[in-house]
Amino acid sequence: QVQLQQWGAGLLKPSETLSLTCAVYGGSFSDYYWSWIRQPPGKGLEWIGEINNSGSTNFSPSLKSRVSISVDTSQKQFTLNLSSVTAADTAVYYCATASDTTIVNWGQGILVTVSS
Amino acid sequence: QSALTQPRSVSGSPGQSVTISCTGTSSDVGGYNYVSWYQQHPAKAPKLMIYDVNKRPSGVPDRFSGSKSGNTASLTISGLQAEDEADYFCCSYAGDYTLFVFGTGTKVTVL
């Protein structure tokens, strides 16, 4: 059973860079895509992007210019960076595993607030 | 890519059945047989309940079933139980650019 544990700064100022890391426990690290998803308060879920074991990435077109995702296979961790944040980036951020067509396992989520 | 449309809430008594709809477009729900459903209890991580429209992961009770017709997918919970009270949301694969699009979420209340 795959479990995901995520951490990172929960309070940012506008223009700063959001950085969250997710550690993977259990399962085979190479079997999945490693994804990030977010949910602004009172709004729906939004897929941010993913990376696979070989470093190949896919990003949401609306966030592509500000997003990067990296993976450390030795540590079984992957990291989301989102630059130039604004209040609109305030959300609960989830890390997750995915197959080609399904998001399978989710982390517990972390609230990131952007406020001056 | 717009969010998939779900009813805000549904309710039922223990033992009854409830069905949650998830309406998209031919670019997502209607275009692929890759609709999944998730259950989320308060302050908990979402849990995969249905994938590929109608497949259940190991450990998910067979009270949960999925289907799809055209651009609308559905999740049915039969024999409703108290522990089924939670938020449910759908997700569809949407192709090469925005890979996944999510539903707006439905709160299931067990009366």
Are A47 and B52 in contact (CB < 8 Å)? Answer: no
* A109 close contact with B: CB closer than 8 A: yes
Q: What tokens appear for B98 in the block?
A: 């925005």
Question: In angstroms, rounded to a whole number, what is the distance separating the alpha carbons of residues B34 and B90?
Answer: 10
Pick from B24, B3, B84: nearest CA to A47: B3
A44, A58, A106 ranked by CB distance to B105: nearest: A44
* B24 close contact with A: CB closer than 8 A: no
Q: What is the DSSP letter of A115?
A: -
Q: What is the DSSP letter of A42?
A: T
Beta-carbon pairs below 8 A across chains A and B: 55
Q: How do residues A69-79 score in pLDDT, each as one tens digit?
A: 999 988 999 99
DSSP per-residue codes, A50-77: EEETT--EEE-TTTTTTEEEEEETTTTE
DSSP run (H or E) holding B63: none
CB neighbour burial string for A24-48, b if at least 16 within 10 angstroms, e if fewer? beebebeebbbbbbbbeeeebbbbb
A45, A60, A108 ranked by CB distance to B45: nearest: A108
Q: What is the mean pLDDT of chain B?
A: 95
Using a CB-CB cut-off of 8 Å, the residues of chain A touching B3 are 44
A94, A101, A109 ranked by CB distance to B34: nearest: A101
Q: Is the dihedral of CA A18, B41, A41, A113 positive or negative?
A: negative
Q: How do residues A39-71 score in pLDDT, each as one tens digit?
A: 999 888 999 999 988 888 999 999 999 999 999
Q: How do residues B54-96 score in pLDDT, each as one tens digit?
A: 999 999 999 999 999 999 999 999 999 999 999 999 999 998 7
